[in-house]
Structure 1
């Protein structure tokens, strides 16, 4: 918390290693160097995040714990219990006070599991509940789920059938679903498949999981793909490719593969694509567009329905079971959109809680308990999005925006091309305008290189049966950025304008 311009905190307890739970740790530690506690896998990811932020891990107090650890800070005791989630060694957290425990229960299910790294420690939960729970802060993301699978058996059966009867198989998965990735790897190995895992941003997380033994791939089945050449297209019939990433990233990678701009894989009409990554909020349109694009390229596409996937978030029955174990005086729905929290409130009311004992909060609202009772006063603290840009952290109106910095430091490249979409040909351009970073002969060289590169990329897209304009613009921006960086060691803002005109 920031109070009077100063950051105040004593420690940070981490429940698990997903980006939305640990992503802010580097910035928080820059503001105030507090002790950070988490399980081995979680802290391995934190160390990676610190290293990527240019921070020295040894400068910070990072502590590895397990679910049986008990921490004491003055008159405060902290206990933990392990939970079943999509990443290993996830935790629930209980902060014990004189009036009862405050239990934090994020991202969990009560699904049965044979792997101890994904099991719920019910013994620890009952031990915490024995001394009384004042308030239960429980996740709400899965509150609306009804009839979800309690395991991945249907998924395993469907995938096994495809692996047995297909040539190259490509999976689209979220990198956060480590246990599910392991199940797919096991199936691939059973079917004598070589396995490649790709995903630029997620690769380091996967590497840690492999190195630490959280993902296990026999060396003889694991393959690192090399860039495609005329001789090597990475299209062997025994190859299984697992595309990983978060949010939109698996879909974006598939689009690049369809459009022939990915350097590792190009989608062919005898490929079998299995989409296991369910669209998250805000990515539904992109997911539908990706599926349509795959069909246009003739690939066989299997979209695994939600009903076949074991949920990573507590449904209504899980929440009722949590209430039954913890027996809290108050329930505070957290995590998810407000509609999800309303759904949990309804579940709590159905479970017998009184309306006044289910506390609905907005971001920034502070609640206070005194002598075991909720005080009616609710203080509003300053909250909202914070723009993080290099060494600047603060409200948007207090810092210089990144685009302005880039314009001042590295300039601008504008590429304008007129295209006849009906005839699929370039009518005029590409015309290149550059401001603020190169002059003289260097400018002419860069302009020619950018123009030639742009023309090649545009023509390659125009040659396709279906033109994906958004992907074309993205590819132009990516390729021009790399070319300009190579020629000038500058990273200007790239603006691409494609004008659709009808030639006469």
Structure 2
């Protein structure tokens, strides 16, 4: 008789040991609940890659067992992978659950992918309850830096699980209500078997900044700015966008919203009532010249130094209507995502060359992260008092720091799992452990319309081309004699400038002829694959000895 699985499986396909790509599965006896489907941005050594998404191979053949997908909030590290993974999990009748703003952002983005299945997204709010097979989910409001952020209280056959979502405890949030501690305490009283908690701020001391503090500091800039204010932030930071709009109205400034994603999110948020503005506040970029410079605010994307974003186009004089000039103030209202430090520094330098003032979060508190820091995380653990603890959402060092906080709060080390993506965590009422078997969790890279077709080999080739260039050798061989006709052609891209390397090219041609004649000299049938390998290897060694560089060598042999 087949043994029935009595453990709940918790599998994180992303979000562990990294910031972004959040996706979690809960699997009870083959019935699967998915939480979030996010992407992350590529690393600097991933040329041409647009995004990295979770690997959904574990779900292959199990599509009909997927009960539904729940989303915590509308940031792309939690919803961005939907268009790239939806066909891998799709079955007719698959249900999705999201708050109004999250739903609006998902559906707006799906418009860019008209060939994908239409999503049936049910709207949920603070207090909504949903039953999906063995899982009963209650959604509850959590403060973050986007409205409509929901944590999850999940009743399962073995006990209660609480997923905090990204969160912070903010006593004075903007555009939101303060944390409902009464509600959190009521969950804690219902005995939490497993707490899954956001770790992004686990290495930061004390308490996260309140949005009210940010507003006060932003107001100082608005009060004294002599000319235009150009405020750059993430398109998904709806609360910050609202602050900038409100301050612009207070100081009698018109607001020009620039950037595709920024415009789309502002439009959705206005329809849903999350962004409020007076009539006549918004103007188009081409109308900026009709108003005094002291009456203009430009709200745009690009605080991370992204090449295609609006702020970079303004800084590099490529924007059709906006040129930076002395008297302008540029606000970078976001912290720097790890890995973007160099591009942000270059952006700041470019802006400052225009004689413009730049305000950023290291100068004054004009950005607050949306993530709880040490004191808040300890408070959450204290309120929930869980039997088992699993830190999620963060680099490995953040997960470890969070696990140490949990031990400080009295959770035994054996009841804490610091997991890696793809590990299958087994949970019962009495114990928690990691299976030897793992789910595939390697990077799936998105490049243009291709999803997963750029693997490690292609990426390595791109890195090699970016580092040392390529060297193409074209040799024409006489079929009857096996001798090289004329001189081999050489094409170099990103390796050496041909006109200035004539001696190197002459020696390379001589070497190619030698290699081919040696390989074909015995007469009889010639293995041209072997000849190409010989050219690739020996010319590679030769060029390295002369230049200390290793270009990608592509030999082309043509028989005539």
Q: Same fold (TM over 0.5)?
A: yes
User: What is residue 343 of structure 1 aligned with on the other side?
Assistant: 401
Residue 137 (structure 1) aligned with residue 187 (structure 2)? no
Residue 326 (structure 1) aligned with residue 384 (structure 2)? yes
User: What is residue 36 of structure 1 aligned with on the other side?
Assistant: 96
User: What is residue 91 of structure 1 aligned with on the other side?
Assistant: 150
Residue 386 (structure 1) aligned with residue 444 (structure 2)? yes
CA deviation after TM superposition for structure 1 residue 41, in Å: 0.7
In structure 2, C-alpha distance between the alignment counterparts of 1:235 and 1:143, rounded to whole Å: 45
Instruction: Verify the 8 A CA contact 1:81 1:120 in the aligned structure 2.
Output: no
Query: What is the CA deviation profile of residues 101-141 of structure 1, one whole-angstrom value per residue up to 9, with x for unaligned ones?
Result: 12212210011246674543334333333321111111111
Residue 256 (structure 1) aligned with residue 313 (structure 2)? yes
User: What is residue 161 of structure 2 aligned with on the other side?
Assistant: 102
In structure 2, C-alpha distance between the alignment counterparts of 1:234 and 1:290, rounded to whole Å: 27
In structure 2, C-alpha distance between the alignment counterparts of 1:203 and 1:352, rounded to whole Å: 47
In structure 1, C-alpha distance between the alignment counterparts of 2:242 and 2:119, rounded to whole Å: 32
User: What is residue 464 of structure 1 aligned with on the other side?
Assistant: none
Instruction: Verify the 8 A CA contact 1:226 1:264 in the aligned structure 2.
Output: yes
User: What is residue 274 of structure 2 aligned with on the other side?
Assistant: 214
In structure 2, C-alpha distance between the alignment counterparts of 1:94 and 1:154, rounded to whole Å: 31
Among 73, 77, 88, the alignment partner of 1:20 is 77
Among 295, 319, 323, the alignment partner of 1:238 is 295
In structure 1, C-alpha distance between the alignment counterparts of 2:448 and 2:344, rounded to whole Å: 32
CA deviation after TM superposition for structure 1 residue 328, in Å: 0.7
CA deviation after TM superposition for structure 1 residue 157, in Å: 3.2
Give the RMSD, CA atoms, in angstroms: 3.0
In structure 2, C-alpha distance between the alignment counterparts of 1:250 and 1:330, rounded to whole Å: 44
- Per mean C-alpha deviation after superposition, the further-off stretch among 184-193 and 93-102 is 93-102
In structure 2, C-alpha distance between the alignment counterparts of 1:171 and 1:3, rounded to whole Å: 43
Instruction: Verify the 8 A CA contact 1:148 1:311 in the aligned structure 2.
Output: no
In structure 2, C-alpha distance between the alignment counterparts of 1:246 and 1:19, rounded to whole Å: 16
Query: What is the CA deviation profile of residues 218-258 of structure 1, one whole-angstrom value per residue up to 9, with x for unaligned ones?
Result: 12221121288xxx498732101112357444995333222
Give 3-state SS (helix, strand or coil) of 2:111's partner. Answer: helix
User: What is residue 171 of structure 1 aligned with on the other side?
Assistant: 231
User: What is residue 454 of structure 2 aligned with on the other side?
Assistant: 396
In structure 2, C-alpha distance between the alignment counterparts of 1:159 and 1:115, rounded to whole Å: 13
CA deviation after TM superposition for structure 1 residue 310, in Å: 3.2
Residue 204 (structure 1) aligned with residue 259 (structure 2)? no
CA deviation after TM superposition for structure 1 residue 337, in Å: 0.9
CA deviation after TM superposition for structure 1 residue 317, in Å: 0.9
Give 3-state SS (helix, strand or coil) of 1:384's partner. Answer: coil
CA gap of 1:307–1:130, structure 2 versus 1, over 3 A, is farther
CA gap of 1:53–1:107, structure 2 versus 1, over 3 A, is same
CA gap of 1:279–1:310, structure 2 versus 1, over 3 A, is closer
Residue 301 (structure 1) aligned with residue 361 (structure 2)? no
CA gap of 1:395–1:10, structure 2 versus 1, over 3 A, is farther
Give 3-state SS (helix, strand or coil) of 1:80's partner. Answer: strand
CA gap of 1:391–1:180, structure 2 versus 1, over 3 A, is closer
Among 248, 253, 260, the alignment partner of 1:188 is 248
Q: What runs of 5+ residues in structure 2 fail to find an aligned partner?
A: 1-55, 463-492, 494-560
CA gap of 1:255–1:5, structure 2 versus 1, over 3 A, is closer
CA deviation after TM superposition for structure 1 residue 7, in Å: 4.4
Among 333, 336, 341, the alignment partner of 1:284 is 341
Instruction: Verify the 8 A CA contact 2:207 2:376 in the aligned structure 1.
Output: no
How many corresponding residue pairs? 401
CA gap of 1:248–1:118, structure 2 versus 1, over 3 A, is farther
**Larger of the two Rg values belongs to structure:** 2
- TM-score (norm: length of structure 2): 0.66
In structure 2, C-alpha distance between the alignment counterparts of 1:178 and 1:350, rounded to whole Å: 35
Q: What runs of 5+ residues in structure 1 fail to find an aligned partner?
A: 405-415, 417-504
User: What is residue 27 of structure 2 aligned with on the other side?
Assistant: none
- TM-score (norm: length of structure 1): 0.73
Greater relative contact order: 1 or 2 (C-alpha under 8 angstroms, separation 6 or more)?
A: 2
Give 3-state SS (helix, strand or coil) of 2:294's partner. Answer: coil
**What pairs with 1:53-68 in structure 2 (closer than 5 Å)?**
53-55=113-115, 59-68=118-127
Among 110, 116, 119, the alignment partner of 1:50 is 110
In structure 2, C-alpha distance between the alignment counterparts of 1:6 and 1:307, rounded to whole Å: 52
Instruction: Verify the 8 A CA contact 2:302 2:309 in the aligned structure 1.
Output: no
Runs of 4+ in 1 over 6 A off after TM superposition: 398-401
Query: What is the CA deviation profile of residues 9-29 of structure 1, one whole-angstrom value per residue up to 9, with x for unaligned ones?
Result: 221110000011111222333
Instruction: Verify the 8 A CA contact 1:198 1:244 in the aligned structure 2.
Output: yes
- Per mean C-alpha deviation after superposition, the further-off stretch among 361-370 and 173-182 is 173-182
Instruction: Verify the 8 A CA contact 1:243 1:250 in the aligned structure 2.
Output: no
In structure 2, C-alpha distance between the alignment counterparts of 1:297 and 1:390, rounded to whole Å: 34
In structure 2, C-alpha distance between the alignment counterparts of 1:60 and 1:78, rounded to whole Å: 20
In structure 2, C-alpha distance between the alignment counterparts of 1:185 and 1:393, rounded to whole Å: 38
User: What is residue 81 of structure 1 aligned with on the other side?
Assistant: 140
Query: What is the CA deviation profile of residues 461-502 of structure 1, one whole-angstrom value per residue up to 9, with x for unaligned ones?
Result: xxxxxxxxxxxxxxxxxxxxxxxxxxxxxxxxxxxxxxxxxx
In structure 2, C-alpha distance between the alignment counterparts of 1:101 and 1:201, rounded to whole Å: 37
CA gap of 1:395–1:123, structure 2 versus 1, over 3 A, is farther
Give 3-state SS (helix, strand or coil) of 2:231's partner. Answer: strand
In structure 1, C-alpha distance between the alignment counterparts of 2:229 and 2:434, rounded to whole Å: 58
Query: What is the CA deviation profile of residues 330-361 of structure 1, one whole-angstrom value per residue up to 9, with x for unaligned ones?
Result: 11111111111111112112222221122111
In structure 1, C-alpha distance between the alignment counterparts of 2:303 and 2:62, rounded to whole Å: 30
User: What is residue 478 of structure 1 aligned with on the other side?
Assistant: none
CA deviation after TM superposition for structure 1 residue 40, in Å: 0.8
